Structure 1
Amino acid sequence: MPTSESEPREHRDGPRRDRYDLAVIGAGPAGLAAADAAAGFGLRVALVDAGSRPGGQYYRHPAPELGAARPERLHHGWTVFARLRERLTASPLVDHLAGHHVWALEAGAPGDDTGPWRLHATRGPGAADRATVRARAVLLATGAHERQLPFPGWTLPGVVTAGGAQAMLKSSLVLPGRRVVVAGSGPLLLAAASSLVAAGAEVPAIVEATSYLGYVRGLPVLAGNPGKLAEGAAHGARLLRHGVRLRRGSAVVEAHGTDRVTAVTVARLDARWRPVPGSERRIGCDALAIGHGLVPQIELATELGAATAAGPDGAVALAVDARQRTSVPGLWAAGETCGVGGADLALAEGVLAAHAVAGRPLPARAAAVRRRRRAFAALMAAAHAPGPDWTGWVTDDTEVCRCEEVPARAVREAVERLGAGDARTVKLLTRAGMGWCQGRMCGPAVARLSGGGAGRPDSRPLSCPVPLAQLAEPGPD
């Protein structure tokens, strides 16, 4: 398997083959498992990924030049990744196309002998950096991005996402700060805090907006996922040893500082996530790691009209059948694109999708893992769903869209004075969501401030920024 730019076997000139049996987009747990299983059936696979090394966000790891002696200490389930990477590296049937940002999928004409799918990708700023990959079938394993709910001061230096704090540690072996408050909602907070204290950071508090009581309603689901309970217990034990305090039913409602965050204000929340007056407490810190769960990254599929479904927390994912097929013929999906549920679920769904593409019977074990983990994912999403009134802590001066510097005042004026009734209209009136991140950071917040939920994701002809030189370049025949 051709590897990353930092390793000697990288294939620098694009795909080696004119046509693949399967193109897998994303080299995280789902994509790696799918490519491995598909190659085992003799399929020729293109593993297309924006990253320079396989692993995705979950298995993000230090560059070789950093000389990390034991990178596995920063990961859960590292041995699974190591085995997959070893097999894929040795496979002559898998090409790892690193640094390829896929910006569009195109279904070919019936009878096209180069394969019905074309994946258009950018590898850099020049016209020569455009790449096209042809394949008979496509599997989306593009993962998810973090959901951010804005608050005053969230754009200060030192305020990072919870996943971003983990990424800094895993890939660069650096901490976002020495005294880090971890806040938001969801199990990622425990994992992030556990990693930070293990690396030597002080975590004065984990500020969790929910109370965890939602898990009580799913005791049978918890009993069917003992591994998840053990994982949570391990994180909890480490945090207890380091004296980390868990503040349940609370949120960071303001970050303070000038050149960098120096403190945060924490307030208790009521059942609708409204800050309780008089409950505010100030905590000193030099970094804040915050996130409210994950949102599936599905832009490539929604542009093709693929069916979607909203989860218990409002996040929209691709709808798939028992064989991981989307509503678009020839397009499969696995992992977080089908709803956020963790690495074990993603690995199982990657295997199931590969069996389906190869026309093989579905393995019972992977199907059982999917069934249990999907039930746990639904329970988790319901337990950590954002309350409807979190917008109460968003002041008019709070920037909602960081890319375009759009304050909440502009969004509210678009709704109240200009009659905008949905997030798309608000975007047209304010430019919120038109920046570099393409609404990934501000999308849920703008939708909520517009008076609705997450709704169906925008259909975008380009799923990521593309240099104009590449759009002007004639595509391959």
Structure 2
Amino acid sequence: MSETADLIIVGAGPAGMAAAATAVAGGLRVVLVDSGTAVGGQFWRHPPQEARPAIATEDLHHGLREYRALERELSAGRAAGRLDLRLAHHVWSAVREEAGFEVHAVDRREAPQETAVTLRAPRLLVATGAYDRQLPFPGWDLPGVLTVGGLQALLKGGGVAAGSRVVLGGTGPFLLPVAAGLAARGVEVVTVCEAAGPLAWLRHPGALLRNPGKWAEGAGYAVTLARHRVRVRPRTAIIGADGGDRVSSVRIASLDPDGRPRPGTERRIEADTVGVGWGFTPQLDLLIPLGCELADFEDGNTAVAVDDGQRTTVAGLYAAGEACGVGGAPLAVAEGRLAAGSVLIDSSAGPAPGRRTPAALRAEVARQRAFARALALAHPIPPGWSSWLTDETVVCRCEEVTAGAVRAACAEGGARDHRQVKQLTRAGMGWCQGRMCGPAVHCLASPDQRAYTPAERLVATPVTLGALADLDENQQETNKEYR
């Protein structure tokens, strides 16, 4: 299958939905591609359509009015024949060609069968979001230890609580909605360990004052946690987990200013489930091979560099949402609409329709970006977190590479970043391709704490040899047509 459009958008989360709705309203033919079975991404994840009446998850969401409005706009675009929505399509490569971009995907709607799909358009917008950033600790590979994003995905996608006695840890406000959602469904959330101090936000009062909605959201979580007697422990971290077939307890400790456990503060808490999250890492797998410039972000990640219209440094390539730096759904929506407006202008299709002007959207993006920077600075990764690790702690779970092996690669092998560690130890060569261990290996190997940039991957997601064979056959048929 080979298709041509005016614009391809990869990712149907908040940024991709907003971009598609705006571009279609402006008269463009758009292909919207997403690996999920419904639009909304991780932020607006819902149970399957047939299960929604029986599973109540609306209280877990924010911005549902925006989501439903975007759904209506996309439905109107499909009815008008200007939007081609490709769900359950996993994009594994995007390349530049003379006429624009060629996007390769596999259609997994009839899994386990896969069908190769090639999409072409003069312009490409990448809105692939982000994924949970993890820091290892002894016992983090036990069954029952999940990311906080995984816990929330189970709640939103199926109304499933992963355990009955849960401890959460890490840093950032994302811990609060997960704790509140679990507690509201009868789960005993024993404690929430927040590595940052409570006064960190006072250093960034401007960002808080310009975003009063964030205060209201946080207050709502605080009320829920207080009602269910969930204790939040500041400057505290989960430094270990124990158990046999499943996690049975965690070890927590208070942290000093460098993030090292304070002597004498360690305590053990019984739990059957643990959720851990240290922020998010932008999903850049499609963008890095295309050669666009990256920029360091305050949270220790690199993100794609864009101008004030969401254009990357590659002609015809745009980005919106978390790929430009993690900042939340309202920012992603504004960036998606702004990016689509730039596509319309660059395509000579006229200005973007809607009540919000490009200037108003740019102001909204700037305001939300300022809050995202303040958030990153208030909730950093503790510099001394590696002191939690023993040499036997597994860092790369796919290849079973330990912290001791990573340290040896740096001390004896001269490795100075995660790419060199991978060459010496295979850390990052497994099924996840470094998504779980990459940031941690980078922190262990990079003494100057440079921002983390994922390794370049020409294949962004696992793809079967059968799908590649289909791709080859389709290319041969295309060549016959040209001849």
Q: CA deviation at 1:462?
A: 1.2
* Pairs aligned (count): 457
Please give the per-residue CA displacement for 1:426-461, whole angstroms capped at 9, x wherever unaligned.
101111001111111100111111134344321111
Q: Give the Cα separation in 2 of the matches to 1:411 and 1:385.
A: 23
Provide the secondary structure at the position in 1 that maps to 2:188. coil
Which one of 415, 438, 444 corresponds to residue 420 of structure 1? 415
Q: Is the counterpart of residue 443 in structure 1 residue 451 in structure 2?
A: no
Aligned letter for 2:107? R
Matched, 1:108 2:93: no
SS in 2 for 1:299: coil
Question: Which residue of the other structure, out of 394, 401, 406, is the alignment partner of 2:396?
Answer: 401
CA offsets 1:288-347 (integer angstroms, 9 cap, x no match): 111000111011111111111111121111110000001111110001110111110000
Unaligned runs of 5+ in 2: 346-350, 479-483
Matched, 1:49 2:34: yes
C-alpha separation between the residues in 1 aligned to 2:362 and 2:204? 21
Which residue is 2:367 aligned to? Answer: 372
Q: Which of 121, 126, 133 does residue 105 from structure 2 map onto?
A: 121
SS in 2 for 1:204: strand
What pairs up with 1:40-189 in 2 under 5 angstroms?
40-69=25-54, 70-91=56-77, 92-109=81-98, 112=99, 116-124=100-108, 129-189=115-175
Distance in 2 (CA, whole Å) between partners of 1:93 and 1:443 is 39
Alpha-carbon offset, residue 419 of structure 1: 2.2
Q: Say yes or no: does 1:28 pair with 2:28.
A: no
* Contact residue 127 and residue 469 of structure 1 kept, 8 A: no
Name the residue aligned to 1:387. Answer: 382
TM-score if structure 1 supplies the norm length? 0.93
Name which of structure 1's ranges 358-367 and 240-249 shifts more when overlaid on structure 2.
358-367
The answer to whether residue 4 in structure 2 is matched with residue 19 in structure 1 is yes
Q: Structure 1: how far apart are the matches of 2:436 and 2:207?
A: 31
Equivalent residue number for residue 456 of structure 1: 453
Q: Which residue identity lines up with residue 91 of structure 2 in the other structure?
A: V
1:372 aligned counterpart, secondary structure: helix
Alpha carbon RMSD of aligned pairs, Å?
1.6
Per-residue deviation, 1:423: 1.4
1:104 counterpart letter in structure 2: S
Counterpart Cα distance in 2 of 1:89 and 1:53: 13
Select 2:228's aligned residue among 220, 242, 258.
242
CA–CA distance in structure 2, aligned partners of residues 249 and 73 of structure 1: 29
Q: Which of 461, 468, 471 is the aligned partner of 2:468? A: 471
For residues 87-111 of structure 1, the C-alpha deviation after alignment (integer angstroms, 9 at most, x for no partner) is 21232311110111111111111xx
Q: Which residue of 1 aligns with 2:481?
A: none
* Contact in 2 for aligned 1:46/1:97 (Cα 8 Å): yes
- Is 1:429 paired with 2:415? no
Alignment of 1:324-339 (within 5 A): 324-339=310-325
| TM-aligned CA deviation for residue 126 of structure 1 | 8.0
Partner Cα separation in structure 1 for residue 89 and residue 392 of structure 2: 38
What's 2:335 paired with? 349
Give yes or no for contact 2:299–2:376 (8 Å, CA) kept in 1: yes
Question: Structure 1: how far apart are the matches of 2:363 and 2:185?
Answer: 36
Over residues 176-230 of structure 1, what are the superposed CA-to-partner deviations in whole Å (9 max), with x where a residue is unaligned? Answer: 1011111100111011111111122111111000113221111111100001111
Distance (whole Å) between structure 2 residues aligned to residue 52 and residue 311 of structure 1: 31
Aligned twin of 1:223? 209
Q: Which amino acid aligns with 2:414?
A: G
Indicate if the aligned counterparts of 1:295 and 1:315 stay in contact, CA closer than 8 A.
Answer: yes
Q: Alignment partner for residue 202 of structure 1, among 188, 211, 216?
A: 188
Q: SS where residue 471 of structure 1 aligns? A: helix
Contact (CA 8 Å) 1:126, 1:467: kept in 2 or not? no
Please give the alpha-carbon distance, in whole angstroms, between the structure 2 residues aligned to 1:244 and 1:52.
34
Q: CA deviation at 1:371?
A: 1.1
Q: Secondary structure at the match of 1:303?
A: helix
Q: How far, CA to CA, are the matches of 2:198 and 2:8 in structure 1?
A: 40
Task: Choose from 237, 245, 252 the match for 1:266.
Answer: 252
Deviation at 1:128, TM superposition (A): 5.8
Q: Residues of 2 paired with 1:364 and 1:349: CA distance?
A: 12
- Alignment deviations for residues 113-148 of structure 1 (CA, whole Å, 9 cap, x no partner): xxx111011234889611111112111100000100
- 1:463 is displaced (CA, Å) by 1.3
Q: Decide which moves more: 348-357 or 457-466.
A: 457-466
Deviation at 1:283, TM superposition (A): 1.2
The AA in structure 2 aligned to 1:93 is: R
| Deviation at residue 468 of structure 1 after TM alignment | 2.5
Q: Does the aligned pair in 1 maintain the 2:18–2:70 contact within 8 Å?
A: yes
| TM-score, structure 2 as length reference | 0.92
| Conserved 8 A contact 1:212-1:383 | no
Check the 8 A contact 1:62/1:68 in 2, yes or no.
Answer: no
